[in-house]
Structure 1
Amino acid sequence: MLYVKAPAKINLILDVLQKRPDGYHEVEMIMTTVDLADRIGLETRKDGQIQIISTDRYVPGDYRNLAYQAAKLLKDTYGIREGVSITLEKKIPVSAGLAGGSSDAAATLRGLNDLWNLNLTLDQLAEHGAKIGSDVSFCVYGGTAFATGRGELIQELPSPPNCWIVLAKPAIGVSTADVYGGLKVNEVIHPKTQDMIHAIYEKDYELMCRSMGNALEAVTLKLHPEVMMIKEQMMKFGADAVLMSGSGPTVFGVVQHKSRVNRIYNGLRGFCDEVYVVRLLGDRDLLA
């Protein structure tokens, strides 16, 4: 069996510019991978079928699963006769704003490229990924990137300043469609994307913290007040900056000093079951 790592991502910046004619929104995002990852196992099947086996009962085991869609896309595009069993060892929370499903799909694309000897480049895999979901292209590359379009146009960035990340997911699910549906583009407070890019290039930790922003956050906070409570508690316990990732509901705190990490973790565990302490991966070459 071939194993592939599928890391979660966080959004340091998520800006929404306008609605597009195709129904998607034009976005600008700065995303980076963190060391919380699913493990994807791929094993050839002779019967031509695509099978999903997941350790999480909330993950669909059929065509709705993005890893299934990734396998089917490559199988159909390149006329592959053999099938594949895809085992998803889930560590990333489901429906959390951390791109767990997208990362699983991206890892499936990368893994099947090797298993089926397709010899595709990362750029080619990312093009296929864009047909599956907006975050899949970024997840194919990993690392840190500035994403535009609907999220599929990827420009590599250096790794952000080194720090700890505390992730906390409340026991709710958030519909991305509902969040975008509740967004009034003309009322969006746009985050400082160029300041964030500058902070990343200069390894300026304080500027990175000041520049973090998410245009979707106000909508999700209105729909789910518990997300705001987690934000407030993270700041109270000593995080340097706090932001919601993606459409939520996961909130992440950025912490430079290890001494504060345990205090934040223990404080959040009092009322939130899913809390994780991770490091930034940051660089593409750490994805392997």
Structure 2
Amino acid sequence: MLYVKAPAKINLTLDVLYKRPDNYHEVEMIMTTVDLADRIGLESRHDGQIKIVSTDNFVPDDHRNFAYQAAELLRNTYGIKEGVTISIEKQIPIAAGLAGGSSDAAATLRGLNELWNLNLSLDELAEYGAKIGSDVSFCVYGGTALATGRGEKIQEIAPPPPCWVILAKPKIGVSTADVYGGLKLDGIKHPNTKQMIQAIETNDYPLLCASLGNVLETVTFKLHPEVVTIKEQMQRFGADAVLMSGSGPTVFGLVESEPRVSRIYNGLRGFCEEVYVVRLLGERNPLA
């Protein structure tokens, strides 16, 4: 059995520039990985089947699963005869704006590259990732990056200043399609992506906190007022900066001071079941 780590991501910025002719949105976002990860196990099968086994009953075990699609894509492209059992130990919440499914697919691509001796580079694996979902290319690389296009064009940047990250997810799932569908591009406040890159490259934590921004917040806040409550409480409990990740509903807070972390964690646990305290990873993934 080959094991591969599949870390979650958060968006430090998420900007939508315009709707493209192909119906995707042109985005500009800065993403970074955090130390909350699923564990993917890969084991060869001799019957040619792709089988998904998961610790979470809500994870689909057929072609709807991104990890399944990743295995199928590599098998078909390279004429691989053997099958694979993909076991997914879930730690990342589902439909949470943390790219759990995309990261599972990316880890499957990296792992099968080794298991099936394909000798593909991260760049080549990221190209396959783009065929599966918008966040998969970023998740192949991990680390910290500026993502453009529909999210598949990846430009590596330096790791952000180290800090604690508190993640809180209410008991709801959010449809990314619904959120993008409800976005009105007129009059939205765009985050300052260049300023965020400057903050990261100069290791300026206060500027990083001041530069967080996500244009999808307003849409998700209208659909799910409980997300607003979590953001407000996290601010009240003393996080340095707070933002919703992706299309939500997970909200994250950045905290530099360790003593404040437990106070915020305990405060949130009073009304939110899924709360995690993690660190920023910031560094790129190894090949497998």
Please say if 1:57 is aligned against 2:69. Answer: no
Q: What's the TM-score once normalised by structure 2's chain length? A: 0.99
| 1:89-135 deviation line (CA, Å, top 9, x unaligned) | 00000000000000000000000000000000000000000000000
Q: Is the 8 A contact 1:32 1:281 kept in 2?
A: yes
Describe how 1:74-85 pairs up with structure 2 within 5 A: 74-85=74-85
SS in 2 for 1:186: coil
| 1:18-74 deviation line (CA, Å, top 9, x unaligned) | 001111000001000000000000000000000000000111010000000000000
Q: Which contiguous aligned blocks of 4+ residues in structure 1 show a shift greater than 3 angstroms?
A: 285-288
Amino acid aligned to 2:108: T
- Structure 1 residue 285 displacement after superposition: 4.8
Q: Is the 8 A contact 1:168 1:272 kept in 2?
A: yes
The 2-side partners of 1:203 and 1:224 are apart by: 34
Partner of 2:36: 36
Partner of 1:116: 116
Q: Is the 8 A contact 1:234 1:268 kept in 2?
A: yes
Partner of 1:24: 24
Q: Is the 8 A contact 1:40 1:88 kept in 2?
A: yes
Change over 3 Å in CA distance of 1:135–1:113 after alignment to 2 = same
| 1:68-91 deviation line (CA, Å, top 9, x unaligned) | 000000000000000000000000
The 1-side partners of 2:244 and 2:280 are apart by: 16
Q: What's the TM-score once normalised by structure 1's chain length? A: 0.99
Identity %: 76
Describe how 1:120-131 pairs up with structure 2 within 5 A: 120-131=120-131
- Structure 1 residue 187 displacement after superposition: 2.7
The 1-side partners of 2:97 and 2:56 are apart by: 17
Please report the RMSD computed on the Cα atoms of aligned residues, expressed in angstroms.
0.9
Partner of 2:192: 192
Describe how 1:1-288 pairs up with structure 2 within 5 A: 1-285=1-285
- Structure 1 residue 16 displacement after superposition: 0.2
Q: Is the 8 A contact 2:141 2:285 kept in 1?
A: no
Change over 3 Å in CA distance of 1:78–1:285 after alignment to 2 = closer
The 1-side partners of 2:146 and 2:110 are apart by: 21
Q: Is the 8 A contact 2:54 2:87 kept in 1?
A: yes
Tell me, which stretches of 5 or more residues in structure 1 are unaligned? none
The 1-side partners of 2:52 and 2:166 are apart by: 30
Amino acid aligned to 2:183: L
Q: Is the 8 A contact 2:140 2:285 kept in 1?
A: no
| 1:155-201 deviation line (CA, Å, top 9, x unaligned) | 00100011000000000111101000000112321001000000000
SS in 1 for 2:84: strand
Aligned residues: 288
SS in 1 for 2:221: helix
